[in-house]
Amino acid sequence: MGENEFTSLKGKKIVLGVTGGIAAFKAAGLASLLVKSGAEVRVVMTAAAKEFISARTFQELTGQPVSSEMFGEPSNYRVAHIALAKFAELVVIAPATANFLAKAAHGIADDLLTTMILATTAPIMVAPAMNDRMLSNAATQANLETLRRRGFEIVEPNDGRLACGTSGKGRLPEPEELAAAIDWHFERLKARKLEGKKIIVTAGGTIEPIDPVRYIGNRSSGKMGFAIAEAAHRHGAQVLLVTAPSVLSDPYGVEVIRVETALEMHDAVLKEYETCDGVIMSAAVADYRAKTIADEKIKKSDETLTIELEKNPDILFELGQKKQRQVLIGFAAETNNLESYAAAKMKQKNLDMIVANDVTVAGAGFNTDTNMVTIITRGSMAEYFSLMPKTELAELIIKRLEKIFQGRQ
């Protein structure tokens, strides 16, 4: 990609953090590309970074003083870390060493760069670069996962020959690749078409207690709903995720309500329904619950055990009956007659869109990272999609939601 193609960088205010690794020389190339693309760049270097490349290099490339000392001589900033934190529309750390990742993940602020990232409200993008064994170390991976959960954007390192003489994953991407990632960050912001919309997303499989120990449940992991909530947030929506039990961590920037039973999910969704713009019901809600819940653990006695069940409220049907301006999207997990059952469910429950999948297909059922679906939107022909990661499917669903909103304008 050529430098003139980074069209989203013009006028953007970027703080480039450079930490102490051999790949620091690539940060100079990145700074040059950013400036040539019209960005305003301020560079913050750690003490270790200056062992690999001089501050003067970045000063000449950006036309701005380079900041590095927390307690140095007075500079052009009154309080450097606060001024830089306020200046930034995006903070980019390239290269990001294992040491920096550890400090960032644990909130350690012992130099100008780590103090500045604690003070900023701007998005933060990190590009790790290190030996492949350091990268794969459990501590480094845990730190990266912590940063992801907090909303840091991670630019994955490349495979190739490393400075230590070995080959593996850990190379800092080339300046053009880094500039493209930054350009894409700002390009995505333009596409926040759900700004001002409140979206409720449900996820996971509800559980219905039988006694204090046992329950009736299903195999849903919540992965689809969590991915949808994250995608809706990225597209600018205010997102409320109502989730049944799941081991997944709360998505960054999303309000989360954790429930267990269908009745609890019903009450949580209906409480917020009137003030929302749309609901995406991806949860696997139990159709029935035990009519009587035993106060004590049921002991094994007879060869058979009979449990009387009663029907749970149909949350999706009730939302369809109460629907006014809201967009309502449902899911249909089927084992046969996929399209006909999904179309009938869409009509019966007054949905605007339904996402149907055959849970008997390998890789497309519960508790997987992938899905293969048919999407039916009101007034449109059914769309068929091959197996794809649930994260990609979530983006696709949110884009269909945006089209529905646009069609109502």
294-320 confidence digits (pLDDT tens): 999 998 887 888 999 999 999 999 999
Domain boundary among 172, 190, 208: 190
- Residues 367 and 383 placed together within one structural domain of the fold: yes
Average pLDDT over residues 385-403: 94
Q: What is the mean pLDDT of residues 101-109?
A: 97
Q: Confidence class of residue 74 from pLDDT cuts 50, 70 and 90? A: very low
| 72 pLDDT above the threshold of 90 | no
Query: pLDDT (tens digit, 9 = 90+) per residue, 345-372?
Result: 999 999 999 999 888 888 887 888 999 9
| Same-domain pairing of 178 and 217 | no
Which pLDDT does position 163 carry in this prediction? 62
Asked if 90 and 227 sit in the same domain, the reply is no
Is residue 52 located within the same domain as residue 120?
Answer: yes
Residues 296 and 350 in one domain: yes
**Phi/psi at 232 (5° precision):** -60, -40
Determine the Cα–Cα distance for residues 391 and 75; give it in Å rounded to an integer.
45
Nearest to 71 by CA among 115, 112, 109, 16: 112
Q: Do residues 58 and 89 both lie within one domain? A: yes
Looking at 162, 190, 218, which one is the last position of a domain?
190
Catalytic site includes residue 164? yes
| All residues at 6 or more sequence positions from 72 whose CB lies less than 8 Å from its CB, including other chains | none
Looking at the fold, whether 134 and 87 belong to one and the same domain comes out as yes
- φ, ψ at 161 (rounded to 5°): -75, 130
- Active-site option among 55, 109, 164, 382: 164
pLDDT for 22-71, tens place per residue?
A: 999 999 999 999 999 999 999 999 999 999 999 999 999 999 999 988 76
- For residues 99 and 217, membership in a common domain is answered with no
When pLDDT is cut at 50, 70 and 90, the band that residue 379 belongs to is: confident
Residues of 95-107 as b/e, b for ≥16 C-beta within 10 angstroms? bbbbbbbebbbee
What does the buried/exposed string (b/e) look like for 250-278 if buried means 16 or more CB atoms within 10 Å of the residue's CB? ebeebbbbebbbbbebbebbeeebeebbb
- Do 148 and 249 have their domain in common? no
Residue 401: domain span: 198-407
pLDDT 10s digits, 7-20: 899 999 999 999 99
Predicted pLDDT of residue 82: 85
Residue closest to 111 by CA, chosen among 20, 172, 26, 13 = 20
Number of domains in the chain: 2
Mean pLDDT rounded to a whole number for the chain: 91
**CATH number of the domain bearing residue 253:** 3.40.50.10300
Based on the domain organization, do 217 and 353 belong to the same domain?
A: yes
Q: How confident is the model at residue 77 (pLDDT cuts 50, 70, 90)?
A: low
CATH (domain of 26): 3.40.50.1950
Q: Are strands 167-171 and 215-216 parallel, antiparallel or unpaired?
A: unpaired
Q: Select from 139, 158, 190 the last residue of a domain.
A: 190
pLDDT at 73 over 60: no
Three-state secondary structure readout of 7-61? HHHCCCEEEEEECCCCCHHHHHHHHHHHHHCCCEEEEEECCCHHHCCCHHHHHHH
Exposure class string for 133-169: b at 16+ Cβ within 10 A, else e = ebbeeeebeebbebbeeeebbbbebeeeebeeeeebb
Domain co-membership, 168 together with 273: no
Residue 383: band (very low, low, confident or very high) from pLDDT cuts 50, 70, 90: very high
pTM score above 0.95:
no
Q: Are residue 174 and residue 211 in the same domain, yes or no?
A: no
For residues 47 and 71, the answer to whether their CB atoms sit within 8 Å is no
